[in-house]
Amino acid sequence: MRMSEAGGFVAGAAPVSVEQPGSLAELVALVRGSRETLVPVGGGTVLDLGYAPAGPFRLVDVRNALGGAVEHQPDDLTATVPAGMTVEAANAVLRAQGQELKLDPPLASRATIGGTLAAAMAGPQRGRYGAPRDQVLGLMFVRADGEVVRAGGRVVKNVAGYDLSRLLCGSFGSLGIIAAATLRTWPVRETVDVEWQVGDIATGLDLAARLTAAGAWPEVLDIVDDGRGIWLAARLSPAALPAAERVLGGREARPWPPGRFEQLRDGGFREEDVLSVRVTAPWSLLGRAAAALQRARPGLLVVRPLGGMVRAAARRQEGVASRELRGIVEEVRRLVRPAGGFAVVERMPDRYRADVDPWGEPPDGFDLLRAAKAAFDPEGRFSRGRFIGGI
Amino acid sequence: MTTRRELLAALRRAVGDGAVVWRPEDLAAYEFDGTVERSVPHAVVLPSTAEEVQAAVRACRELGVPVTPRGAGTGLSGGAVPLRRGVVISTARMRRILEIDPNDRVAVVEPGVANLELSRQAARYGLFYPPDPSSQAACTIGGNVAENAGGPHCLALGVTQNFVLGIEVVTAAGDIRWLGGRAPDPFGFDLRGAFIGSEGTLGIATKVAVRLLPVPPAVVTLLAAFPTVGQACEAVSSIIARGIIPSAMEMMDRLCIEAVEAGFRVGYPEGAGAVLLVELDGLEGEVQADAARVRAECLERGASEVRVAANEEERALLWKGRKGAIPALGRLAPNYYIVDGVVPRSRLAAVMERVAAISARSGLRIANVFHAGDGNLHPLILFDEREPGAGERVLATAAEIMRVCVEEGGTLSGEHGIGAEKREFMPWLFGEEDLATMARLREVFGADSGLFNPCKVFPGGTGCGEMGSHAAAVRAAGPDAYV
């Protein structure tokens, strides 16, 4: 996170203060006593995303308040994890027992569990294992009035009551502060990492469709254009490799180059990245969305067909001027919006913000989103102005 | 107060004469679902479009009349029973599959489409819809959304929540809104996810966009017989610990096996204390390797026999026993009552012992058939409603089992819902503030008046009747009851 005098910037805006409550009780007291908007933050990996908060705000680093140990139940394939812990730290504990979380957000060594869920940041394993929300069995969270409440439970199947964890996941810190989560854990499986040169993205999409139609269910299946070629990168079980080779027949294959997984996961959020655009759309629109994003001259383009995602990332000296970027993003939005897709500018230089709307127009049914904000945070205490439509 | 005449006139204006059911003899079909609750509605409407659903919801809202949505009525928690009477809105006439897109692997359907029908139609493109409640031939996608339905094959792939991309709903406020769309992630708060499993208390789904998966090329089904349920439970844990997550892991206890054999003669090993049905699917090579490991684990954990279905016919036979288990139990007693609870998988064996102790103490026989892979129990309490006090004893016994599930770190329902049946147990799981926070979701959908599927999910409420006070209402769920 970039630092101002007071602390980290949020979408280009400086907070009036950075708070570091040391316990859940201190966090609750802060929530109860604060008049300014509070912007909860974990590792700060996605603070550039979204609008700047409306009005003066305090940045609340929740990592000390929401610490503690992982409670792992390996036989149940579940773990309860404090929200302030990083994804990598949690996984280090679980891997000692041969299991792991299927959360792989950008910069997993910094990204916290709470931040990953709140910002709905998925990674290369999204296609097979679903979004972060799909990993959540239960949540504890701090309500806007400071009350600490629970939703869901600790078992893998549960339909008791409304699933509020769904509402919190992806709410971008604007409905409540996630304090702890019970998550699914997964056995670590033996895999092989292999990639095939595909020539262009359309061919990559076609091969991905044929590979999965043939019954392969890869842990990772991304099409990546890294400026040195276009590859279909797969992480497969060894038993699936022969079937994959039959489908991909005759193409040049190679093992992943070093750092491939991190590139697929972190692209757009690496130190040198200045621009990142993420598109979510049904499979059939991914090729056209990718073609439009190519015009933004990204140094890295990742298409994740099973996750319905395209991400374009540019470093300094790459990318396009703000007006041009706006035109491209608006074109993509017109393409994917009717299908319920969206294009989010996850990262951009601050000077672009006047021209480029990071979220785009609110979706149909925005009145329900506003009603949700009003129901869960009537005074606008959490991250006011940050999310879609300035919620 | 609205008169019945006024109500019927308003409903006819909303949906037309031919879509309003009002004769007492016709209304009787809408007074129950798959469970023991009963209440006759004042009227039923059968809309054909979202606009008609909207018109009906608005008419009821204006008149202050309770609304209860209904799919196929196969629910097992009383969710579709109009406990405060009023109007039942049935989706029975909304049963078109609007689109199956094989490129996007997405289907868009009306809510009244039967679950199995969707998979049947999708099969033409080599695709299927994974959630498969045992009632799948009858139960509807709209009902599945309301209950967040599961099924035997949800272990590896997930439940309804994991497969619904978008929902067009008529909210309790009477507005038509899309939650989510055809893309994998919703834009904004995930109200789609919050709506799924809300048991018809927030609105009615009028279109549902779902994700389909390619039909796996290879399937292997194994049947392992064990001397005891405890050993079978251990086998389940050790299979998972090996890193294998089968598509299904189903268990039946001795009483169930006996009933199935008496009913169908599927050839389950005689004298077994438990049978475990394990299904693996995927690529041929992967599946065969995993099947060998599953077999080895079962034998190691004391299985007396492990059979592998050699062909589709044998596979169907093994499943016939599982899917027919509950109707088969109808042979052992005139009535049965199905309980749905979840415990951590590692507590399964201990919980089964506690259930056996409850059975011994209550004098009621309890058979067990359950989704062992995810710790989802379905004890079936056998009884005869003609015996005096039987109804109360059954409900008290079911409550005791629920209590055990909660004590062991589990939950009140894995797939049947809270409905009317278990709402009074909710405070065992959630504090007052937790429940109040959930209830805030009602404000979002305009359901805060409590007239949309009243007396469901949340404890309390006036005019809802008292669970357990109507012993005479406790009856057989019938041969069309499912787990």
Would you list the domain boundaries of chain A? 1-188+362-391, 192-262, 267-352
Interatomic CA distance for residues B61 and B74, integer angstroms: 26
Q: Where are the beta strands (DSSP E) in chain A?
A: 17-19, 37-41, 57-61, 71-73, 78-82, 99-100, 136-142, 148-152, 177-184, 186-187, 192-197, 220-225, 230-236, 253-255, 273-280, 300-304, 309-315, 342-347
Looking at residue A243, its pLDDT comes to 87
Domain boundary among B214, B244, B261: B214
Interatomic CA distance for residues A333 and B459, integer angstroms: 44
Confidence band (pLDDT; 50, 70, 90) for B285? Answer: confident
Structurally, chain B folds into a number of domains equal to 3
Using a CB-CB distance cutoff of 8 angstroms, which residues of chain A are in contact with residue B99? none
> Does A74 lie at the interface with B, CB-CB under 8 angstroms?
yes
Domain boundary among B214, B231, B253: B214
CATH of residue B178's domain is: 3.30.465.10
Same domain for B345 and B321? no
Q: Is the pLDDT of residue B35 over 90?
A: no
Instruction: Search chain B and give the residue with CA nearest A173.
Output: B189
Are residues B190 and A166, on separate chains, in Cβ contact within 8 Å? yes
* Helix B50-63 vs helix B4-15: crossing angle, to nearest 10: 160
pLDDT tens-digit readout, B437-451? 999 999 999 998 889
Residues of chain A with pLDDT under 50: none
> Alpha helices, DSSP H only, in B412-475?
426-429, 432-444
Which ipTM value was assigned to this complex? 0.97
B30 in any annotated domain: no
pLDDT tens-digit readout, B312-333? 999 998 998 888 888 888 888 9
Instruction: Search chain A and give the residue with CA nearest B191.
Output: A167
Assign domain A192-262 to its CATH architecture. Answer: 2-Layer Sandwich (3.30)
Closest CA to B83 of B474, B372, B419: B419
B45 in any annotated domain: no
Q: From residue A11, give the alpha-carbon distance in Å to each of A40, A269, A348.
A: 14, 14, 9
pLDDT tens-digit readout, B15-33? 999 999 999 999 999 998 8
Residue B447, min C-alpha distance to chain A (Å): 12
Instruction: Search chain A and give the residue with CA nearest B439.
Output: A162
Residue B388, min C-alpha distance to chain A (Å): 32
pLDDT tens-digit readout, B149-196? 998 888 889 999 999 999 999 999 999 999 999 999 988 999 999 999
**Angle at the Cα of B477 from the Cα atoms of B276 and B147, rounded to 5 degrees:** 75
Same domain for B222 and B310? yes
Residue A382, min C-alpha distance to chain B (Å): 14
Same domain for B107 and B177? yes
The top-scoring range by mean pLDDT among A81-85, B257-261, B344-348 is A81-85
Closest CA to B155 of B35, B239, B86: B239
Closest to A159 (Cβ–Cβ): which among B209, B345, B415?
A: B415
Phi, psi of A8 (to 5 degrees): -65, 145
- Identical fold for domains A1-188+362-391 and A192-262, yes or no, is no
Closest to A163 (Cβ–Cβ): which among B158, B197, B416?
A: B197
Same domain for B115 and B206? yes
Are residues B190 and A341, on separate chains, in Cβ contact within 8 Å? no
Closest CA to B46 of B106, B111, B102, B105: B111
Among the four given CATH numbers 3.30.1370.60, 2.40.50.140, 3.40.1190.20, 3.30.465.10, the one describing domain A1-188+362-391: 3.30.465.10
Same domain for B346 and B424? yes
Q: What is the tally of helices (H) and strands (E) in chain A?
A: 11, 18
Rounded average pLDDT over B79-83? 95
Interatomic CA distance for residues A326 and B151, integer angstroms: 46
The H or E element spanning position A175 is none
CB distance A42 to A114 below 8 Å? yes
Domain boundary among B151, B181, B214: B214
Same domain for B106 and B204? yes
Looking at residue B467, its pLDDT comes to 43
CATH of residue B426's domain is: 3.30.70.2740
Interatomic CA distance for residues B68 and B159, integer angstroms: 24
> Alpha helices, DSSP H only, in B184-307?
191-195, 229-241, 254-264, 284-300
Among the four given CATH numbers 3.40.50.880, 3.50.50.60, 1.20.1050.40, 3.30.70.120, the one describing domain A267-352: 3.30.70.120
CB distance B285 to B217 below 8 Å? no
> Per-residue DSSP letters for A59-105?
EEE-TTTT----EEEGGGTEEEEETTSBHHHHHHHHHTTTEE-S---
Helix (H, G, I), strand (E, B) or coil at B101: strand
Domain of B233 in residue numbering reads as: 218-327
Same domain for B260 and B184? no
Instruction: Search chain A and give the residue with CA nearest B459.
Output: A161
The secondary structure of residue A10, as a DSSP letter, is B
> Average model confidence (pLDDT) for chain B?
92
Interatomic CA distance for residues A185 and B406, integer angstroms: 22
